[in-house]
């Protein structure tokens, strides 16, 4: 993510649509918000349920590559094993989302989870 020299940082957070919802809503919303030029847009990984993680990765990548905004994935990691989290991070890297482009909030509720 770029270093911001402004005093105030303005960001947006997006929750991916549920798997059975119309995905074009996200992109029409992004089109409508592009003029406000946020410093970055975060996408909550897997929000919406139903194994929605792959949609999160696509949206994060589209924000960066198609809209030109810094983007990041917000990874709650609740219930993820270390191997699952590592796989997600690898897929982010494959989509050119660097290590500054995600946050990880570990959960220690289950043995073997992050």
Active site amino acids: 13
Residues 21 and 13: their CA atoms lie apart, in Å, by 18
Residues 74 and 77: their CA atoms lie apart, in Å, by 9
104's torsion region: left (phi>0), alpha (psi -120 to 50) or beta?
Answer: beta
Structural contact between residues 16 and 26, judged by C-beta atoms closer than 8 angstroms: yes
Residues 72 and 100: their CA atoms lie apart, in Å, by 8
Residues 70 and 72: their CA atoms lie apart, in Å, by 7
């Amino acid at each position: 993510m770029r270093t911001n020299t402004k005093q105030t940082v303005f960001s947006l957070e997006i929750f991916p649509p549920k798997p059975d919802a119309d995905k074009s809503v996200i992109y029409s919303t992004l089109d409508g918000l592009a003029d406000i030029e946020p410093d970055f847009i975060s996408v909550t990984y897997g929000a919406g349920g139903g194994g929605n993680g792959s949609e999160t990765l696509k949206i994060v990548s589209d924000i960066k590559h198609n809209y030109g905004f810094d983007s990041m994935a917000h990874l709650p990691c609740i219930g993820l094993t270390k191997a699952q989290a590592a796989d997600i991070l690898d897929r982010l890297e494959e989509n050119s989302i660097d290590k500054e482009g995600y946050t990880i909030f570990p959960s220690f509720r289950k043995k073997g989870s992050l």
